[in-house]
């Protein structure tokens, strides 16, 4: 099937005079996770990872992805004509230099102009210039060859109530309009789905695991326009939006709206998130390029949001307690499939108040599957878990009052000395990062190495970032901040600020054997002001014990042991009032002091 689809694409390319065609992973809103309609790279290649890019020429089809997906991609591309290109740096556009090296002078590269941002097109043009390679962004060739392609998703939009959101949509719009006034802007174009959902206090289910809806938002000086598929918002909610000065228009009307801007009107766009097609629709001289203001506002959680996040962490800890206790009991009698563990965990979460769904597909990796960083178990294909080896479980929940993401690695039998050593090196890195105190202005790239230092000392490492921002009943991966090795990425370059909510998840992976990852979510807080300025630190909000059976006590310092004892005391104190008597006894054993 893959070979037939690639062949069909090549025929469509030939008809349009294209020498290469690039198929990305994202949608017109530059989303990481996309609705079925835009899963074109997956449809063409069979590769299901969230990050990857396909390039097709007349003689070559190549998939570029990073080390998180090497094993998965090798398995899923087997038997196809598609070659795996292993990226040296995650998310780096290494396919561009390949195109320059392999295309003839004067060649034409095709892309769908709805999917490529202004910044991406400019980057391509800059690197193609010397070889006179042209870019044609007029054609969506997938639409021509994908006969039963999904349409726009139609999930109903609902309100994220003020009791959870904390600030009204009017308050949030006022913050943006203040900035617009300073810059003398008539409109602000918002294309990113999580930013639209946050500003309007609305949610939906157009994208798996992310409570988003496909739309565009144009914020005006007094009134705003939400471009969305008809029928997704009921009359009562539409009336509420109109009261707030927000009027509905059809999703497809965004281009005509931009084309017909009045001569005296100006509109702000983010070139990294606005498609080249929308940019070209704006009359010349009317657009002003601005950084995404909403992203920064959304990243800094308010005290109201943090108070709810703390409640979500308790609920998540209760669900995980019940899951791991259940798993221990089952394994005494039988083997349990990875899929059953994922389903059971979702079931335990669903028993908690204000649960909405999982925040991503649970990674349940038993033994060798744990070494596949973004592994997802599938019915009939997954491993059976037994009372031996190592299990890595990375999962998260979406609650009306918060988004969670936690990874725990546990021993199901007696671990080897090497496994305990690897686990403890990862644990030491997690603790080191969680205990950091640092001055304002410190970025993720400056902090990332503290989580890797103990692995590095033994010539070991891991191929993914150490952490990402987390949304508030929004995307589990939320820019801009994080911990990353590269200082040019958003995660690496963004300075931490109080209120930022970020994962701390170092790991280590033995291909074909096991994977280890320990992940907690950290809140950035103020700690003290000194002669050198304000200092910040992290507070760990995640609540679930870390497996003592995998720890090599000889490698832990007294400070690290004290951190673990304090953390486990906190876990027990906050979870035990929500548990049954037998569950409290189980948790007490897991949280016992070192």
At 38 the pLDDT is 98
CATH number assigned to the domain with residue range 2-145, chosen from the 4 options 3.30.1240.10, 3.40.50.410, 3.40.350.10, 3.40.50.970 = 3.40.350.10
Q: What is the DSSP string of 506-565?
A: -EEEETTTEEEE-BEEEEEEEEEEETTEEEEEEEE-------GGG--GGG--HHHHHHHH
Task: Check pLDDT > 90 for residue 69.
Answer: no
Facing residues of 228 across strands?
215
How many CA atoms lie less than 13 Å away from 449 in the CB half-sphere? 8
Kindly report, residue by residue over 120-178, the tens digit of the pLDDT: 999 999 999 999 999 999 999 999 999 999 999 999 999 999 999 999 999 999 999 99
Q: How far apart are CA 491 and CA 482, in angstroms?
A: 4
Task: Check pLDDT > 90 for residue 67.
Answer: no
Q: How confident is the model at residue 215 (pLDDT cuts 50, 70, 90)?
A: very high
Q: Are 25 and 112 in contact (CB under 8 A)?
A: no
Give the CATH architecture of domain 158-298: 3-Layer(aba) Sandwich (3.40)
CATH number assigned to the domain with residue range 300-590, chosen from the 4 options 3.40.50.620, 3.90.230.10, 2.40.50.100, 2.60.120.10 = 3.90.230.10
Beta strand 397-399 pairing with 402-403:
antiparallel
List phi, psi (to 5°) of 460.
-115, 165
Mean pLDDT over 560-581 rounds to: 98
Task: Report pTM.
Answer: 0.96
At 484 the pLDDT is 96
Are 2-145 and 300-590 in the same CATH fold?
A: no
**Average pLDDT across the chain, whole number:** 97
Q: How far apart are CA 326 and CA 328, in angstroms?
A: 6
Beta strand 134-136 pairing with 108-110:
parallel
Beta strand 514-517 pairing with 520-530:
unpaired
At 84 the pLDDT is 96
Q: Tokens representing 305? A: 């949001």
Q: Tokens representing 126? A: 């800059």
CA distances from 537 to 331, 432, 478 (A): 40, 11, 20
- Quick one: CA torsion of 322, 341, 314, 359, rounded to 10 degrees? -160
At 500 the pLDDT is 98
What value does the CA radius of gyration of the chain take, rounded to a whole number of Å?
25
Q: Are 508 and 516 in contact (CB under 8 A)?
A: yes
- Within 8 A by CB and 6+ apart from 424, the residues are 550, 551, 552, 555, 556
Q: How far apart are CA 195 and CA 190, in angstroms?
A: 7
Mean pLDDT over 23-39 rounds to: 96
- Within 8 A by CB and 6+ apart from 450, the residues are 429, 432, 433, 436
Q: Percent helix, strand, coil in the chain (nearest 5)?
A: 40, 20, 40
Helix (H, G, I), strand (E, B) or coil at 202: strand
Q: How far apart are CA 388 and CA 402, in angstroms?
A: 34
Q: How confident is the model at residue 488 (pLDDT cuts 50, 70, 90)?
A: confident
Residue with structure tokens 């990852």?
Answer: 517
At 374 the pLDDT is 86
Task: Name which of 59-73, 203-217, 292-306, 360-374 the model is least confident about.
Answer: 59-73
Domain ranges of the chain: 2-145, 158-298, 300-590
At 523 the pLDDT is 98
Category of 442 on φ-ψ map: left (φ > 0), alpha (ψ -120 to 50) or beta: beta
Task: Check pLDDT > 90 for residue 91.
Answer: no
At 77 the pLDDT is 94
At 46 the pLDDT is 95
Q: What is the DSSP string of 32-88?
A: SS--GGG-HHHHHH----SS-EEEEESS-EEEEE-GGGHHHHHHHHTTSSPEEEE-S
Kindly report, residue by residue over 217-251, the tens digit of the pLDDT: 999 999 999 999 999 999 999 999 999 999 999 99
Beta strand 520-530 pairing with 533-540:
antiparallel
Residue with structure tokens 């709810």?
Answer: 308
Residue with structure tokens 């304090």?
Answer: 566
Residues in the chain, total: 594
Q: Are 360 and 503 in contact (CB under 8 A)?
A: no
Task: Check pLDDT > 90 for residue 514.
Answer: yes
Task: Check pLDDT > 90 for residue 72.
Answer: no
Residue with structure tokens 């009017």?
Answer: 170
Nearest to 349 by CA among 403, 310, 409, 412: 403
Mean pLDDT over 548-569 rounds to: 98
């Amino acid at each position: 099937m893959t070979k037939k689809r690639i062949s069909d694409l090549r025929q469509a390319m030939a008809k349009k005079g294209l020498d290469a065609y690039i198929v990305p992973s994202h949608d017109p809103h530059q989303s990481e996770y996309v609705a079925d309609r835009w899963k074109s790279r997956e449809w063409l290649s069979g590769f299901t990872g969230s990050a990857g890019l396909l390039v097709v020429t007349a003689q070559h089809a190549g998939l570029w992805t990073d080390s998180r997906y090497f094993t998965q991609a090798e398995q899923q591309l087997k038997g196809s004509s598609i070659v795996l290109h292993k990226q040296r740096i995650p998310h780096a556009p290494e396919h561009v230099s390949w195109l320059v090296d392999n295309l003839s002078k004067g060649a034409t590269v095709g892309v769908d102009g709805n999917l490529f941002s202004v910044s991406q097109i400019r980057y391509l043009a800059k690197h193609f210039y010397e070889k006179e390679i042209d870019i044609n962004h007029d054609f969506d060739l997938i639409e021509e060859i994908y006969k039963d392609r999904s349409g726009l998703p139609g999930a109903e939009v609902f309100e994220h109530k003020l009791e959870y959101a904390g600030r009204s949509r009017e308050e949030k719009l006022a913050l943006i309009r203040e900035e617009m006034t300073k810059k003398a802007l008539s409109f602000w174009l918002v294309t990113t789905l999580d930013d639209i959902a946050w500003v309007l206090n609305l949610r939906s289910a157009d994208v798996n695991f992310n409570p988003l809806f496909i739309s565009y938002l144009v914020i005006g000086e007094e009134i705003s326009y939400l471009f969305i598929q008809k029928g997704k918002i009921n009359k009562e909610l539409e009336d509420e939006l109109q009261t707030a000065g927000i009027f509905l228009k059809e999703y497809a009307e965004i281009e005509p709206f931009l084309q017909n801007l009045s001569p005296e009107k100006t509109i702000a766009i983010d070139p990294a998130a606005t498609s080249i097609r929308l940019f070209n629709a704006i009359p010349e001289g009317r657009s002003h390029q601005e950084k995404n203001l909403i992203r920064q506002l959304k990243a800094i959680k308010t005290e109201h949001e943090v108070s709810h996040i703390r409640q979500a962490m308790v609920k998540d800890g209760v669900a995980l307690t019940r899951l791991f206790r259940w798993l221990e009991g089952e394994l005494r009698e039988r083997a349990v499939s990875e899929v059953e563990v994922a389903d059971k965990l979702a079931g335990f979460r669903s028993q908690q108040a204000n649960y909405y769904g999982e925040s991503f597909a649970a990674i349940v990796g038993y033994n060798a599957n744990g070494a596949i960083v973004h592994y997802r178990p599938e019915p009939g294909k997954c491993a059976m878990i037994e009372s031996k080896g190592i299990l890595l479980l990375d999962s998260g929940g979406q609650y009306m009052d918060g988004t969670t993401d936690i990874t725990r690695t546990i021993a199901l039998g007696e671990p080897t000395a090497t496994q305990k050593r690897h686990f403890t090196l990862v644990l030491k890195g997690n603790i080191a990062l969680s205990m950091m105190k640092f001055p304002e202005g410190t970025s993720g790239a400056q902090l990332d190495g503290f989580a890797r230092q103990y692995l590095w000392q033994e010539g070991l490492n891991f191929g993914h970032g150490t952490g990402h921002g987390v949304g508030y009943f929004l995307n589990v991966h939320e820019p801009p901040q994080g911990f990353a090795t590269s200082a040019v990425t958003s995660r690496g370059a963004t300075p931490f600020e109080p209120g930022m909510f970020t994962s701390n998840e170092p790991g280590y992976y033995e291909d074909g054997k096991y994977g280890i990852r320990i992940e907690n979510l950290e809140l950035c807080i103020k700690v003290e002001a000194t002669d050198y300025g304000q200092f910040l630190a992290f507070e760990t909000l995640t609540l679930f014990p870390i497996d003592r059976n995998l720890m090599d006590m000889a490698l832990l310092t007294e400070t690290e042991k004290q951190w673990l004892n304090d953390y486990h005391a906190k876990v027990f104190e906050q979870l035990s009032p929500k548990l049954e008597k037998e569950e409290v006894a189980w948790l007490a054993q897991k949280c016992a002091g070192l």
